[in-house]
């Protein structure tokens, strides 16, 4: 993770007239300068003054209704900007409906939130503050009034923006700080850069499986064009069907969308099980029922628990879910199918996923890997018979795995890695 540090700043009449400048240091491996140029238009390039103010606001619990929660509560920099909880905790110990996604590399997202309801970081920045479960402020006007009443902020906003606090400037400052939080320099990046020893044999086998039998690259392809390992699209992979009567819940959502108003729909999405409808409550398109954004896999080893509801504790659980083709439901993404991965193959894919951790998070990676390995024998999603196509009926979408497919890494395509110990 590297912060933008070089910004040209001129002081005039007590107001900072800042001109954004490109980062002083090169981007870390895996973060493309071209992608940065495309993702951050000139008018949104952060200035040093905006970043400083934004970081202060990001960490300030006084922006919440009872001064107990800040942005950093759910996006802790020490935890790779997540909170490590299945679902985030807001004011008065209230639990939200969704897992807290990382802020790292959020500047590259085409949309924000699991359901993509915000198009920019600026649009995203204020919504958690006025969410009744998260930071609990009644509305944007109340947030601005509270900031104006905190003695240090009016002069700071005057210095940065040349005027008293406004909602627009509040969002601009927080978004400016978030745009400095990009992450790369993982073992995988060094491997792609030519260091053949950067990945272990298991990680190389996992990379081959990722692009082959495990089919991860269908939605998480990673390359120079897609360094986040996300197609940035929305898919129903059956997670909500773990815990809900999904067809019944979808029928209720369809009724509400057809008869309810926008305010009611938004409130239900935040506070009730209808949150499980995901993108549908944003687009009102039935094809989006139960679909959520493909998350980045950068630092995925240290940003669990996983999925929009945090229901999968480890990457082994994630692989078990995919291995059996997800949970059937009428709106399941057509790309879901059984994989037939063996246990050693699952271990290899998990090893590769941990190789996407940036170097500065190595200590956290070691801790999280040990924690997940300790739970490896508690696998609620594991069902080998279903994964191998020997049990269950998924109808015409239940494609049985082709068990004759071998890992290309075993054939030497990725260097001398040796075969997995079990077939």
Q: What is the dihedral of CA 278, 213, 356, 384, to 10 degrees?
A: 70
Tokens representing residue 260 in the block: 């309810």
Identify whether the C-beta of residue 403 lies closer than 8 Å to the C-beta of residue 390.
Answer: no
| Locus of tokens 């934004």 | 54
Contact between 335 and 325 (Cβ < 8 Å): no
Q: Which residues, 6 or more positions from 224, have their beta carbon under 8 angstroms from its beta carbon?
A: 32
Tokens of 2: 């590297």
> What is the gyration radius of the CA atoms in the chain, in angstroms?
23
Per-residue buried b or exposed e for 181-217, using 16+ beta carbons within 10 Å of the residue's own CB: bbbbbbbbbbbbeeeeebbebbbbbbbbbbbbbbbbb
Go through the chain and tell me how many residues it has.
423
**Residue 48, C-beta contacts closer than 8 angstroms, at least 6 positions apart:** 5, 7, 9, 18
Other beta carbons less than 10 A from residue 160's beta carbon: 24
Residue tagged active-site, from 55, 134, 276, 381: 134
**Beta-carbon count within 10 A of 301 CB:** 26
Residue 252 CB-density burial (10 A; 0-12 exposed, 13-18 middle, 19+ buried): middle
Examine the residue annotation and report whether 123 is marked as an active-site residue of this protein.
no
Residues 6 or more apart whose CB falls under 8 angstroms from that of 104 comprise: 1, 80, 81, 181, 182, 183, 296, 298, 299
Q: Which residues are catalytic?
A: 134
């Amino acid at each position: 993770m590297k912060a933008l540090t070089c910004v040209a700043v001129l002081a005039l009449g007590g107001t900072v007239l800042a001109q954004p400048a490109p980062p002083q240091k090169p981007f870390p491996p895996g973060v493309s300068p071209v992608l940065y140029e495309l993702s951050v238009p000139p008018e949104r390039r952060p200035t040093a003054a905006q970043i400083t103010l934004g970081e202060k606001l990001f960490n300030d619990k006084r922006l919440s209704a009872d001064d107990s929660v800040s942005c950093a509560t759910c996006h802790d920099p020490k935890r790779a900007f997540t909170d490590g909880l299945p679902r985030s905790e807001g004011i008065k110990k209230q639990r939200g409906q969704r897992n807290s996604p990382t802020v790292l590399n959020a500047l590259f997202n085409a949309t924000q939130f699991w359901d993509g309801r915000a198009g920019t970081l600026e649009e995203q920045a204020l919504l958690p503050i006025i969410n009744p479960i998260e930071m609990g402020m009644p509305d944007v006007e109340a947030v601005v009034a509270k900031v104006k009443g905190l003695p240090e902020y009016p002069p700071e906003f005057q210095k940065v923006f040349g005027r008293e606090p406004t909602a627009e400037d509040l969002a601009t400052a927080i978004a400016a700080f978030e745009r400095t939080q990009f992450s790369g320099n993982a073992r995988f990046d060094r491997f792609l850069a030519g260091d053949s020893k950067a990945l272990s044999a298991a990680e190389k086998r996992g990379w081959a499986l990722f692009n082959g039998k495990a089919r991860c690259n269908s939605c998480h392809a990673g390359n120079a064009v897609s360094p986040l390992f996300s197609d940035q699209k929305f898919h129903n992979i059956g997670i909500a069907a773990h815990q809900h009567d999904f067809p019944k819940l979808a029928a209720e959502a369809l009724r509400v969308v057809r008869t309810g108003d926008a305010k009611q729909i938004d409130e239900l999405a935040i506070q009730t099980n209808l949150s499980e409808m995901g993108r549908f409550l944003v687009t009102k398109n039935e094809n989006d029922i139960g679909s959520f954004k493909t998350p980045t896999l950068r630092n995925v080893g240290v940003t669990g628990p996983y999925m929009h509801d945090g229901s999968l504790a480890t990457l082994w659980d994630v692989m078990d879910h995919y291995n059996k083709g997800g949970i059937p439901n009428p709106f399941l993404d057509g790309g879901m199918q059984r994989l037939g991965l063996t246990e050693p193959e699952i271990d290899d894919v998990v090893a590769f996923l941990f190789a996407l951790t940036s170097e500065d998070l190595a200590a956290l990676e070691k801790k999280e890997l040990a924690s997940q390995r300790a739970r490896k024998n508690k696998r609620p999603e594991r069902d080998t018979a279903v994964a191998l196509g020997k049990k269950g009926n998924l109808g015409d979408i239940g494609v049985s795995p082709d068990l004759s497919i071998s890992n290309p890494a075993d054939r030497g395509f990725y260097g001398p890695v040796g075969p997995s110990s079990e077939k």
